[in-house]
Amino acid sequence: MTEFLVPAGYGEAELTEKRSRFIARVWHTETEAAATAHIKDMREQHWDAAHNVYAYILKTGGIMRYSDDGEPQGTSGMPVLDVFRGGGIFDVCCVVTRYFGGVLLGTGGLVRAYSAAAKLALEAAGTGVMGLWVKLLISCTYSQFAPIRAVLEEMGAMIESTDFSADVVIDTAIPVEREDALRKRLTELTAGAVEPLRSGEEMRAQRQASGGREESRGLKKGFMN
């Protein structure tokens, strides 16, 4: 499956423009039901706000929705949507809540304020690459465990769990494009004694964390070889 950009997590930001407060929130959202739930929650939480503007884009089905929620047409919902369209961000939902400060901002001022708030919330969430990862079960001896773990960490694999019994069984996941290289490294390291077993696949949103390590999160699609 082709990789694409998504919010790496939840992001929230606030700015003030001529005494109006703009509170923007961004979620990584994969279904329309989840997007509408976020919108409903914000409307209920901020029932006293002047506007709860929203926009969302879903990869599956190519769905894009937005609402100005009473602001002049084209000044809020579409600019928020354009922040994510322009950045190539999918599976995203954003709600920008405005508490009116008593000063009219004009068409241009509204566009700039809503766009800026959405951008700040996206920056807070971070962006990640949604791509295909494979899950592998690696069975090895206790003496092989430390060098194998070092190879997994070096290649950016995520160790999900480790079972220490008669042998060591490592449940790990790695981006599909690195699988062959990992298998080759393990063959060289163990003289062919260790052969990973594919146990499933996942789509994960991955981003660079501080220190250069990769963080990932995903939904499982299990299968056995």
137 and 116 part of one domain? no
The pLDDT assigned to 3 comes to 79
Q: For residues 70 and 85, state if they share a domain.
A: yes
Q: Which helix (H) or strand (E) holds 36?
A: helix 32-45
Q: pLDDT band at residue 208, thresholds of 50, 70 and 90?
A: very low
- How far, in Å, CA of 84 to CA of 93, rounded? 9
Q: What is the mean pLDDT of the chain?
A: 90
3-state SS assignment for residue 1: coil
Q: How far apart are CA 24 and CA 46, in angstroms?
A: 12
Q: Which pLDDT belongs to residue 76?
A: 97
Number of domains in the chain: 2
Q: What CATH number is associated with residue 194?
A: 3.30.70.240
Instruction: Identify the band that residue 2 occupies on the pLDDT scale cut at 50, 70 and 90.
Output: low
Length reported for the chain:
225
Q: What is the DSSP letter of 156?
A: T
How large is the average pLDDT for residues 185-211? 82
Looking at the structure, tell me whether residues 68 and 53 fall in a common domain: yes
Mean of the pLDDT values across residues 127-140? 92
CATH number of the domain that 38 lies in? 3.30.230.30
Q: What are the tens digits of pLDDT across the range 68-127?
A: 999 999 999 999 999 999 999 999 999 999 999 999 999 999 999 999 999 999 999 999
d(CA 172, CA 195): 13
Q: Going edge to edge, which strands form the sheet with 92-99?
A: 11-17, 20-28, 92-99, 51-58, 63-67
pLDDT at 215 over 60: no
Same-domain check for residues 53 and 116: yes
Residue 210 shares a structural domain with residue 164: yes
**Residue % of the chain over a pLDDT of 90:** 82
- 93 and 134 in a single domain? The answer is no
Query: Strand (E) positions, 29-186?
Result: 51-58, 63-67, 92-99, 127-140, 158-164, 168-175
pLDDT at 168 over 90: yes
* Domain region containing 91: 4-125
102 and 10 belong to one structural domain: yes
CA distance 113 to 77: 12
pLDDT tens by residue, 31-68: 999 999 999 999 999 999 999 999 999 999 999 999 99
Q: What is the pLDDT of residue 207?
A: 60
Task: Pick the last residue of a domain from 125, 148, 168.
Answer: 125
Least reliable range by pLDDT among 7-16, 178-187, 216-225: 216-225
Which of the residue ranges 2-6, 57-61, 218-222 would you say has the lowest mean pLDDT?
A: 218-222
My answer on whether 22 and 121 are in the same domain is yes
Token pair recorded at residue 140:
């090895």
Residue listed under structure tokens 């100005």: 68
Q: Which of 87, 109, 125 is the last residue of a domain?
A: 125
